[in-house]
Amino acid sequence: MSSPFPTPPPCSNTPKNPSPRALLSDTQFNDVRATVLDNNPGMEPEMASRLVIEALKFVSAASLFPTVRIAPTREVDEGWHALILHTHLYASLTSRLGRMVHHYPERPDASRHDPDVLTRTVALIEQAGYTVDRELWLGPEKSLVSVAANCSHTPVPGGCGPINPGNCATHGGGGE
């Protein structure tokens, strides 16, 4: 006997990647979040968690799309900085994701801000299977929270730019 209810279609919005939170153990996540909190006195732990989660999404997308120039907001960059400071954890994470995602900091300069880079970055994070925390991807004029991170990132036409997960001879593969 057939069911009176139609079979539902398969879910099409299932993430291609695991939860970004699952990329780190509880201990690792808490250590990185503690670094964000230490660098930003008075920040709520929930906000620090959001920054780290968005940074994990960003690094994952950067590793999946190595030829596309993307950049984080200052808020997300704060979470990324905390990840990078845990060097062994960061090296292990990026190795599991498939490639090192280097960090090329620049001093903040509003004249270099390119709103298209954030649109492109958000689109690639979503293409990687994640849902972005839109409040943390608004750009410098609409920051949700003040953070200690004091660098910005802008793509450089014809160059490798500050965010390029692959190797780039002009920057020598260095980074922060």
Residue 154 belongs to a domain: no
Residue 42 predicted with pLDDT over 70: yes
Share of residues in the chain with pLDDT > 90 (%) = 53
pTM over 0.85: no
Residue 64 belongs to a domain: yes
Query: In the structure, what pLDDT confidence band is assigned to residue 16 with cuts at 50, 70 and 90?
Result: low
> How far is 78 from 82, CA to CA, in rounded Å?
6
> How far is 81 from 75, CA to CA, in rounded Å?
10
Residue 16 belongs to a domain: no
Q: Nearest-5° angle of CA 129, CA 71, CA 141?
A: 110
Residue 150 predicted with pLDDT over 80: no
> pLDDT tens digits for 50-99?
999 999 999 999 999 988 888 898 899 999 999 999 999 999 999 999 99
Is 38:30 a contact under the CB 8 Å cutoff? no
Q: How many residues does the chain have?
A: 176
Residue 170 belongs to a domain: no
Domain count for the chain? 1
Residue 176 belongs to a domain: no
What domain range is 103 assigned to?
21-142
* φ, ψ at 50 (rounded to 5°): -60, -40
Is 61:70 a contact under the CB 8 Å cutoff? yes
Residue 115 belongs to a domain: yes
CA-only gyration radius of the chain, Å:
17
Residue 160 belongs to a domain: no
Residue 162 belongs to a domain: no
